Amino acid sequence: MKIILIIIFSAIILVQANPSLPICNVNTAKQAIPPRIFYEQTIDGKDQNILLTRFLHNKIGIYASEFGKCYANVFDPNFIYHLLGAIGLVTWFYFVYLIAKRRLYPIIAILAVLPMLPFLKFSPLPILLIYKLFAIIGLAFLLSKPK
Amino acid sequence: MRKYLLLGIIILATILRLYKLASVPPSLYWDEASLGYNAYSILKTGSDEHGKFLPLTNFAAFGDYKPPGYIYATVPAIAVFGLSEFAIRFPSAFFGILTVLLTYLLAKKLFEKENIALLAAFFLAISPWHLQFSRGAFEANLGLFFSTLGIYLFVKFARGNKYWIFPSLLSFLAAMYTFTGQRLFVPFILTVLCVQFRNAVFKNLKVVVAGLFIAAILFWPLFKFATGTIEGRLRFNEVSIFNDLQPADESTRLRTKDNFAWWANIIHNRRLEYAHTYLTHYFDAFNPTFLFIKGDVNPRLSVQEVGELYLIDLPLILSGLYFLFAKKSKYRFLIIAWLLISPLGPSTARETPHALRMIHILPTFQLIAAFGFFSLYERIKFRKAFTASVFLVLALSFIYYLDMYYVHWPINYSTQWQYGYKQAVQKTNSLYASADNIVVTKSLGRPYIYFLLYAKYDPRKFWQEGQVVRDKFFFLDVNGFGKYHFVDDVNQAKVSGETVYVSGPEAPKGAMVIDTVSALDGTPVLVVSKKNVSNSSRSQNQ
């Protein structure tokens, strides 16, 4: 019975349409810097200490913020939901919990590095496939969990 | 030492919530102005702005039928501080400070560790999410205080004196009378609490039933209003995704594509489409960009450049979630369920994620982050380095937030707060005696409330003079009172004699400009001008 359920739910996870990620990469991050830095430094004005202005509104900070935005897109629950469906989303999270609990550092590293692909303008296809795989493995573990 | 730490956190929370409260946010938004004037009207007359005596379930206000809690809470503040921005926002700030204290008490009860409790309170004290709503007259923030108090008292009931159930239920009731969003949250959180503390509930079933019976009686008027009247359902119908026909259209489109096959009717059922839309809105609540990078897209609800939480909170929350399960924490069900049920109600609305409507998710993130920090601290080798690095990053994030909040945000978004009305009213007040008419544009939205508020207009006079109309959306609008006329186009106003105009960025033809009110970024928003309008020139204009 469990095997049948795993097969059915895996099929559901696999047939979900692949959603597209928002366009967010190294180029968009670079483009965001000049207008933001100009605008933010202008508002700070001449009266504020230049060091404080530079400290608060600098290229590195803005670039990091843009990078964070791109990175976060890959972990957006809505992206995962549209990719895997509601069941897939739950089993994906269960899988993540399991790898953290069992301290499977290589898999944790893969999970952490994956969002770099679209940021560096590579195809996001590996993310889609690996997430589906993670969800199915999570499903198998969840259903085969002893009571 | 720990007592001093708690005192320090409360002082910090107080400073952060009260410093420049009247001027940042840069001006009163129309809802704040409405709350303030209604409270003023209650103080002076015992009735609301429309003359209804001590409203119990709602204040008609703009026809949005505001819950009464915040307005009544503002009455003492206005009595003490006068009708001012500070007084109108004070209840939110004051109860925001108390919520920080409450977070400490709740965390202490749940985790039984002083350090976690202090940390959770500290995280809430400096939280961008909580600060944003504590510094504006947001009913949601007062509602948050009441629901958190309700949860805390329920925990006290379950772990001690059974009679705590009565104040707990009263707090939940107060939350529902304060913020509309709480009406969807309270039933869910009560269910969660009953499941978490089922043994205590069954053990004291008689007291619980008695408490629920009393609460039901007190809730009945609100329930009748919210479910049995058009006015009560108005706001929900306006924002609900279930009144959006797009999912139904999508279902029809897909079924048509499949030639209305029997299986297509099942797969593309409109109920499933609505469920899919609902789930999409639900998961929006946990969007990392919203939570950690940019915050709410509405510039009134966040500073736009900082998330609702700090980025450093992310690893702490993730580890907190992990350790709640891994350590099999006693109250993990309550905390996780609280986190997960909070977006259930707001997800029925069109705009998601919405920081205001799901504010009752606080302080779960802070509780989890504090637990995560403490659990990591217990396990880590280099404790001092870990603590120092976390607090260093937190301090930098906090300084950046303060700069964005106090320096950048008011300038960038003053128009979002209807900046300009106060200055325009002050100018027209000085011309009031010499003018026959004051014509004000409606282009910035609901100007009448600002003229009532800043002119401290006698509510009794307004009841007699107010030209209140109901628009096609069932909202209430005011076309004039006294010498004031509120119109869509100032050039079309039917007035004669010495006339003062408050118009958009351009003055009416032939009028002499007296003053131009600019937003904080320098954009002109309102122009005060005057002109003597004779009957003949009026007919020429038309």
Chain B residues near residue A73 by CB distance under 8 angstroms: 288-289
In the structure, what pLDDT confidence band is assigned to residue B168 with cuts at 50, 70 and 90?
very high
First to last CA, chain B: 75
Contacts 24+ apart (CB under 8 A), A43-48: A43/B407, A43/B408, A43/B411, A43/B412, A44/B403, A44/B407, A44/B408, A48/B407
Chain B residues near residue A101 by CB distance under 8 angstroms: 322, 326
Per-residue pLDDT for B173 more than 60? yes
Residues B288, A72: C-beta atoms closer than 8 Å = yes
Query: Closest by alpha carbon to B427, among B461, B443, B444, B450?
Result: B450
Query: Closest by alpha carbon to B173, among B37, B56, B35?
Result: B56
How many residue contacts between A and B have a Cβ separation below 8 Å?
A: 51
Per-residue pLDDT for B57 more than 60? yes
Dihedral sign, Cα of residue B6, residue B8, residue B11, residue B15: negative
Per-residue pLDDT for B380 more than 70? yes
What local confidence, expressed as pLDDT, does residue B337 receive? 96
Range list of H helices, B29-138: 30-45, 69-81, 85-111, 114-125, 128-134
Query: Closest by alpha carbon to B479, among B451, B498, B506, B460?
Result: B451
What local confidence, expressed as pLDDT, does residue B250 receive? 84
| Least confident piece of the model among B151-160, B382-391, B498-507 | B498-507
pLDDT in tens, B1-51: 778 999 999 999 999 999 999 999 999 999 999 999 999 999 999 999 999
Query: Closest by alpha carbon to B277, among B255, B297, B249?
Result: B249
The 3-class SS string of B154-218 reads: HHHHHHCCHHHHHHHHHHHHHHHCCCCCHHHHHHHHHHHHHHHCHHHHHHCHHHHHHHHHHHHHH
Per-residue pLDDT for B419 more than 50? yes
Which of B303, B305, B327 should one mutate to test binding to chain A, selecting the residue with the greatest count of A CBs within 10 A? B305
CB A91 within 8 A of CB A139: yes
| Least confident piece of the model among A94-103, B96-105, B192-201, B237-246 | B237-246
A 10 A CB-CB count for B223 gives 14
Counting residues of chain B whose pLDDT is more than 70, the rounded percentage is 99
Across the interface, which of B288, B292, B408 has its CB nearest the CB of A43? Answer: B408
The structural domains of chain A, with segments of one domain joined by +, span 1-17+77-147, 22-73
How far apart CA B460 and CA B48 sit, in angstroms, is: 10
- Three-class SS of residue B51? coil
Across the interface, which of A44, A76, A101 has its CB nearest the CB of B407? Answer: A44
pLDDT in tens, A36-46: 888 888 877 77
Per the omega criterion (within 30 degrees of 0), is the bond before B353 cis?
yes
Per-residue pLDDT for A147 more than 70? no
What local confidence, expressed as pLDDT, does residue B516 receive? 94
As a whole number, mean pLDDT of residues B51-67 equals 94
What local confidence, expressed as pLDDT, does residue B397 receive? 94
What local confidence, expressed as pLDDT, does residue B160 receive? 83
* CA atoms within 13 Å, Cβ hemisphere of B100: 30
Residues B322, A44: C-beta atoms closer than 8 Å = no
As a whole number, mean pLDDT of residues B422-446 equals 92
Beta bridge partners of B528: B502, B515
Structure tokens that stand for B91 in this block: 């209840």
Q: What is the pTM for the complete model shown?
A: 0.93
Residues B400, A56: C-beta atoms closer than 8 Å = yes
Please tell me the distance in Å from A92's CA to the nearest CA on chain B.
14
As a whole number, mean pLDDT of residues A74-97 equals 93
Per-residue pLDDT for B103 more than 50? yes
Structure tokens that stand for B28 in this block: 């009163």
What local confidence, expressed as pLDDT, does residue B284 receive? 94
As a whole number, mean pLDDT of residues B347-373 equals 94
Its ipTM equals 0.90
CB B2 within 8 A of CB B114: yes
- Closest chain A residue by Cα to residue B520: A43
Between B487 and B492, the higher pLDDT residue: B487
Between B493 and B118, the higher pLDDT residue: B118
Residues in A 87-106 with any Cβ partner in B closer than 8 A: 89, 97, 100-101
How far apart CA B352 and CA B280 sit, in angstroms, is: 9
At B90, which amino acid appears?
F
Chain A residues near residue B403 by CB distance under 8 angstroms: 44, 56
pLDDT in tens, B127-138: 999 999 999 999
What local confidence, expressed as pLDDT, does residue B492 receive? 84
Structure tokens that stand for B518 in this block: 């600019």
Across the interface, which of B293, B399, B411 has its CB nearest the CB of A65? Answer: B293
Please tell me the distance in Å from A87's CA to the nearest CA on chain B.
12
Residues in A 9-68 with any Cβ partner in B closer than 8 A: 40, 43-44, 48, 56, 61, 65, 68
Per-residue pLDDT for B235 more than 80? no
Please tell me the distance in Å from B408's CA to the nearest CA on chain A.
6
How far apart CA B43 and CA B36 sit, in angstroms, is: 11
Residues B283, A56: C-beta atoms closer than 8 Å = no
Average pLDDT score, chain A: 89
Which of B280, B281, B282, B293 should one mutate to test binding to chain A, selecting the residue with the greatest count of A CBs within 10 A? B293
Average pLDDT score, chain B: 92
- Closest chain A residue by Cα to residue B278: A78
Residues A78, B284: C-beta atoms closer than 8 Å = yes
In the structure, what pLDDT confidence band is assigned to residue B542 with cuts at 50, 70 and 90?
very low
A 10 A CB-CB count for A137 gives 18
Residues A73, B294: C-beta atoms closer than 8 Å = no
Per-residue pLDDT for B298 more than 90? yes
Query: Closest by alpha carbon to B42, among B95, B88, B96?
Result: B88
Query: Closest by alpha carbon to B61, among B86, B30, B85, B25?
Result: B30
